[in-house]
Structure 1
Amino acid sequence: MAEHPAYPVGLRLAGRRVVVLGGGQVAQRRLPALIAAGADVLLVSPEATPSVEAMADTGEITWERRRYADGDLADAWYALIATDDAGANQAASAEAERHRVWCVRSDDADQATAWTPATGHSEGVTVAVLTTDARGRDPRHTAAVRDAVVEGLRDGTLVAPHHRTRTPGVALVGGGPGDPDLITVRGRRLLAEADVVIADRLGPRDLLAELPPHVEVIDAAKIPYGRFMAQEAINNALIEHARQGRSVVRLKGGDPFVFGRGMEEAQALAEAGIPCTVVPGISSSISVPGAAGIPVTHRGVAHEFTVVSGHVAPDDERSLVDWPSLAGLTGTLVILMGVDKIGQIAETLVAHGKSPDTPVALVQEGTTAAQRRVDATLATVAGTVVAEEVRPPAVIVVGNVVGVGPAATRNPR
């Protein structure tokens, strides 16, 4: 048998008896997949790990608290032998052979009649990898191949085109704070499958260079606006390309629904009858401070954090922010789009009771190669922004958490 490779096959175990001998770590790793396959699982073991016991307590498996006995495999379709009793393993393996039950052994794969492949899943596809050379089995290499294939399918670096007709539509994809590695797996996969990408200036631009040549990339900042408002023109572009039967990705910085006008685009698509998928992204409000060594919450320092837009000044009638109330909070204040208004914001916070000595950090181009952090206080931040030539995009953090991180990450002014 060792001279021949294993024949790969997918077992359909829904409603069929599967016997697992042993309730240790091997069972703990293998049982979830058997349960997901709909198998009628009988566990035979005098004891089990807490996780395996929980599966029995919730009724996902049947557990008989005893050792293996001859006849346990008589009605099984598949068996997993994973006890620490070599004699019991050998006896159970022999019984499986007599009853023609496919049997996996964790202690001696060469004596088994089946091997468990290294498996992974991506968008309805199961990837199962087996070593073809039965005499040179290398589980670590097999797992590495599995991981490479699954990761490639998930992040779009391994493109497997869908040959069935895809439903045209738009995906609103949050690209994260700027580092291309911080886009979600789903977002990257949808990018790889897109026909058209309409990108924001603050999206992860490096990802656009990886797109296939046939993908049309449109800079949202350069869409001809004409008589339309900028956002209305973008909405129209999304609708027009989708109506032409194309798969469209609207690539946005951060998260589509955190000061990203994503809901305006989703509403416009809904009114036009265009299918829309929303893919959340990592918001710069928490990721950029983290990348600069600032936790937005910290035990004993801040029990809450508030994220606000600073694109209009506190005394502007268009402002919807309750700045006086924010001044009274003891937690962390994160301000987006507020570089040019930070002087007025700081004055307002101090005027309503915030200490002038409250630490402030400005993190420019967060998570990118150009990231830099400048520290100040509410009393000095206006002058610091000018002196240090801080430019958007920058995330501003106000609060005592600014001083929590290691001194090496700070550069107070």
Structure 2
Amino acid sequence: MAEHPAYPVGLRLTGRRVVVLGGGQVAQRRLPALIAAGADVHLVSPEATPSVEAMADAGEITWSRRRYTEGDLEGAWYALISTSDLEANNLASAEGERRRVWCVRSDDADRATAWTPATGHSEGVTVAVLTTDAKGRDPRHTAAVRDAVIEGLRDGTLVAPQFRTRAPGVALVGGGPGDPDLITVRGRRLLAGADVVIADRLGPRDLLAELPPHVEVIDAAKIPYGRYMAQEAINNALIEHAKQGRSVVRLKGGDPYVFGRGMEELQALAEAGIPCTVVPGISSSISVPGAAGIPVTHRGVAHEFTVVSGHVAPDDERSLVDWASLAKLTGTLVILMGVDKIGKIAEALIAHGKPADTPVALVQEGTTATQRRVDATLATVGERVRAEDVRPPAVIIVGPVVGVGPRPTE
């Protein structure tokens, strides 16, 4: 049997009995896929890892808390043998052979009647990789091949065109805080398959250079106090291109719904009858402080964090922020879009009782190669911003967590 390569096949296990012998790390890795396949999973093991036990407690699997005994594979379609008892493994393999049950052996692949491929998933496709040379099996190599294929499909470097007509529509994709590696896998995959990309200035710009030449890129940059594309024009562009049957990605910085006007765009698309997918992104409100060594919460220091927009000053009648209440909080205050208003914001917080020596950090262009951090206090932050010429985009963190980590190097 070892002289021939394995025959690859996809098992449809929905509702069918699958027996897993052993509740250790191997079972912990394999059980989620069996559960996802809809299998009727029966675990036989006197012990199990906490994660496996949680699956049993949740009713995802049936657990018999004992060792293997003859007859456990009766009625099974598939078996995973992963105990530390060699004799029990051999007996179970022999039973599987008699009952014509395909058996995977975690301890001895040569004595198994089935092998588990290295698998991965991307946009409705499962990639499974098996070694063709039965005598020279190298699981790490097959896993590396799997990873390369999946990564290529996800980031668009491995082009696999779809031959069925794609339904037109719009995807609102949160691009993350700026580092192109921090966009989600799904967001990157949608970007790779787009016909039109309408991009914000704060989105991961480096990803645009990777797009194929046929992709139309529309600049929707909203530069503070400079040129900008009105929101209505953005909405109209999304609708127009989608109605032309094109796949449109609205690439936004951070998360579409965190001060990103994502809901306004979704509402406009819904009114026009355009299907829309929303892909969350990593918000700069937590990722940028983290990149600068600042945790927004820390045990014994801050039990909550609050994110507010600072684009409207506290004394502006349009402000919806209750600065008086924020001044009373003991946790972390994260302010977005507030660089030019930080002086007035600091004055308001101090006036409402926030100590003037409360630490403040400003992180400009966080997660990018030009990231820099400027530290101050509420009393000094206005002058520090002017002296250091801090410019947007910058995230402002107020609270004792600023001093938790190692001090920033100048």
TM-score by length of 1: 0.93
By how many angstroms is 1:156 displaced?
3.1
Structure 2, gaps ≥5 residues long: none
Residue 154 of structure 1 aligns with an amino acid whose one-letter code is R
Residues 1:148 and 1:323: Cα distance change in structure 2 (over 3 Å):
same
- Partners of 1:59 and 1:296 in 2: how far apart? 36
1:18 to partner: Cα distance:
2.3
Shift of 1:222: 8.7
Any idea what SS the aligned residue of 1:23 has? coil
Post-superposition offset of 1:74? 4.1
Contact kept in structure 1, 2:168 and 2:247, CA below 8 Å: yes
- Matched residues, number: 406
Q: Which residue of 1 aligns with 2:242?
A: 242
Cα distance in 2, alignment partners of residues 280 and 57 from structure 1: 31
Residue of structure 2 equivalent to 1:260: 260
Using the TM superposition, name which of 353-362 and 266-275 deviates more. 353-362
Question: 1:5-404 to 2 correspondence within 5 Å?
Answer: 5-221=5-221, 230-404=230-404
**Helix, strand or coil for the counterpart of 2:87?**
helix
Change (3 A) 1:324 1:58: closer
Amino acid in structure 1 at the alignment position of 2:79: A
Aligned mates of 2:100, 2:111 — CA distance in 1:
14
1:108-162 C-alpha deviation (Å, 9 max, x unpaired): 1111111111112222221111001111000111112112222332333333222
| Letter of the 1:93 counterpart | S
| Cα contact 2:56–2:63 (8 A) shared by 1 | yes
1:145 partner amino acid: V
**3-state secondary structure, aligned to 1:84:** coil
1:338-383, Cα deviation, whole Å (9 max, x unpaired): 1111112222222222222121111111111011111111221121
**In the alignment, is the contact (CA less than 8 A) between 1:373 and 1:410 conserved in 2?**
no
Moved more, 353-362 or 127-136: 353-362
Amino acid at match of 2:245: G
Unaligned runs of 5+ in 1: none
- Superposition deviation, residue 46 in structure 1: 3.5
State the shift of 1:176 in Å. Answer: 0.8
CA distance in 2, matches of 1:118, 1:34: 14
Distance in 1 (CA, whole Å) between partners of 2:312 and 2:375 is 22
User: How far apart are the structure 1 equivalents of 2:388 and 2:161?
Assistant: 48
Structure 1 residue 70: Cα displacement: 3.3
Deviation at 1:406, TM superposition (A): 0.4
> 1:162, 1:278 → 2: CA distance?
22
State the alpha-carbon separation in 2 of the partners of residues 186 and 324 from structure 1.
Answer: 40
Higher deviation after alignment, 210-219 or 102-111: 102-111
Q: Give TM-score, length-normalised by structure 2.
A: 0.93
CA contact (8 A) 2:222 2:229 kept: no
SS of 1:135's equivalent in the other structure is helix
The one-character-per-residue Cα deviations of 1:190-249 (angstroms, maximum 9, x if unpaired) are: 1001000000111110000011111000101399xxxx9811111111110000000101
Give the drift of 1:78: 1.9
Structure 2 vs 1, CA of residues 236 and 333 (structure 1 numbering), >3 Å: closer, same or farther?
Answer: same
Q: Alpha-carbon deviation of 1:265?
A: 0.8
Secondary structure in 2 matching 1:311: coil
RMSD over aligned CA atoms reads: 2.0
CA, structure 1 residues 361+70, in 2 after alignment: closer, same or farther (shift >3 Å)? closer
Distance 2:214 2:305 in 1: 43
Residues 156 and 189, structure 1, Cα contact 8 Å, conserved in 2: yes
